[in-house]
Structure 1
Amino acid sequence: MVFSVVTLFSGCAADDGAKASSANNTNNGNVNVGGVQDIGVFRDIVNTGGIPGPDTLDANGFFSEHYIEYQTEDCGEDICLFGMLGRGISVLSSDYMNVLQVGMTTQVNPQDYERPPTDFIAIIDVSGSMYSDNKLEYVRQGLHMMIDSLEANDRLALVAYSDMAREAQELMFVDSAENRQVMHANVNRLVAGGSTNIYDALWLGFDIAAMSAAEGRYARVVFLSDGQPTAGITDPSSIITLAREKASKTSQLTSIGVGTDVNYDLMKELAMAGGNFYFIENSMALPDIFVEEVDCFSFPIAENVHVTLSSGPDFYIGDTVGFEDFTSSSAGGEATFPAIYLASRTSENIEDPNSRRGGGSAMFVRIVPQANTMSLSGILLSMSYTDPQTGETV
């Protein structure tokens, strides 16, 4: 199952040391595409005197770093589609440049929803490289904070992996001081050494998540790595396929990449399979990420989302940037998203609003006149989706 998602975020933010690909606290109902590439890697390379490559930045990652004031009219549905047209003279020629910005907003208030009891499955890299920069120590701190932040009806499992994956903590309720002590003790037993078997780690983590699903519970798989797959099945496409097959609406995946040695493309694709992606520029930011996962939750408000764009008789559709799933032609194009999620925060803590200004994802389309005409009439934007509560098509 391919599980690329779009997420509506309200109040789930990363701190200044960690750049979350799909989280911000100032977007006022704008829509972010889940798994988009933030500019954390780009910024980190610049700060160390390097020259970032083109694969370190994409359109949605860039625009999610900036607050953009989108229209707020209520279309009467849970998800609203909009378009904004910009026109100017090209710097390369005297021709007019016409650009259509396509985005989505919502009027749904995530604060009206409560986080359901959740099973958190933390998959932790304990390969030898986790000794460097005190990464494993910061991970331990984060897990301790996570345990203390969980509700009594939540459960936690811990998977540690290096040459192979093992269940370091079975799925256990956080409903007593004794259980919390057991969890803290198991975290303290984590030691680093060996290679990095990502495939087996994800397999075991999702196997535990499947038990949660069988009991009708919501699961969050939190996967952390600081390097490349070096043991077991190391082919990135096989690892990504596994995540796409296992991720679901009730078993979501968050991937956390630590340091410059991490396989950034792999971690990004894992996020596209079903959740968030954090790139940690500073290991000291690791503890806050685990609490962030407890504070934030998401749930579907639209499924089988289909967006179409049709051109008029006097122009055609040029190149597009933004929605990776958009397929274009001269007559228009379309994009399909299996689900749109609403994300909310359970904590009262408010981060520094300057830590991430993200304003939501968008697609930008170049509109090219067929002849010397100023008319752009005939642009048609449409969207349909299934209401997950009623099963009706909107």
Structure 2
Amino acid sequence: MRVAVIGAGVIGCATALELAKRGAEVVLLERAVPGSEASSAAAGMLGAGAEIDEDDPEQIERLVRARDAYGPWIEELRGETGIDVGYRVSGILIVMTGDPVERERLTRIVALQRARGQRAELIDGVQARSIEPELSADVGACAYFPDDSQVDPPALLRALVASLAKKRNVSLRSGAVVERMLLEGGRCTGVALAAPPAAGQSNVVQADATVLAAGSWSSLLPGIEKELAPVRPARGQVVQLEERPPRLATPIVRGPAYAIPRGDGRVYCGSTVEFVGYRREITAGAVRDILDGTIRTIPSLAEASLSSTWMGFRPHAERPLVGRSSIPGLFWATGHYRSGIVLAKITADDIAQSIFASS
């Protein structure tokens, strides 16, 4: 079986790797370089509590399954490539603000987690500071998810690309801009590329199955607008601080703000959610708001150095689009919004299973 995967972010790379492990011949197509968009900009929280947008039992079960799949997957990648991807079971603390709606939502999420045998707690400020002493004295009630974890997305991407490079049945083509899907008799049979092909390559990629994993660019492909639910870019800006020596140990979420310590002094602070199209600016207002929120919650970070800023486009959809499309031979793996990293492994598994089941 030959499969074309459009997009070499973490979702696309993980899917290509899983397909290759199951024996498929995979052509991985990337318009720029692997992971240059949302995957490189992500914070890397693997949260069955922190990543939840609503108290939906189905969403909770999916995120728990996704988080728990990471441990064995990371061991496999490390054994194959030797790359440390920064995977740690660090727990995550969510600081409850004064918003009663948010407090009620988090209370329900904790109850749903506990009803499913997951460790989740509502704790007061004193208990929270015993877990993370760097928290501000004004922090009150928190939701604590001790089994949530984290990964360093750029390192994860390096490991995925290194693993793919070892597979003889995988071809990675960078600079491959997909112009259109190939449709024959109502079935997707591959893609046509816009750019002139490199020497010895065709601008037509024939495939038994095609996976759309193009993130925020998914809805730009012509010919499938009526089949694909809208996916639009949500810009997220991030600030990286550096502590010397490292002090913060636990990822902290407070409203839209978060601080994710990497254990080596780096702290990822973010993030905005901006529907501004494909504008790539880093804005002064966003940096100010991120730092204000972070330092209010973790005062010691006021002494950290500001080492870098960046942004990325999250693919926003009403729900992650994963599985078969209405066009035979075409599969979706997009629209993961803020959960692309945590859902990467189970998305890859689900897509591979769907493709082989349909063959």
TM-score interval, normalised by the smaller of the two chains: under 0.3
Tell me which protein shows more strand as a share of its residues. Answer: 1
Larger Rg: 1
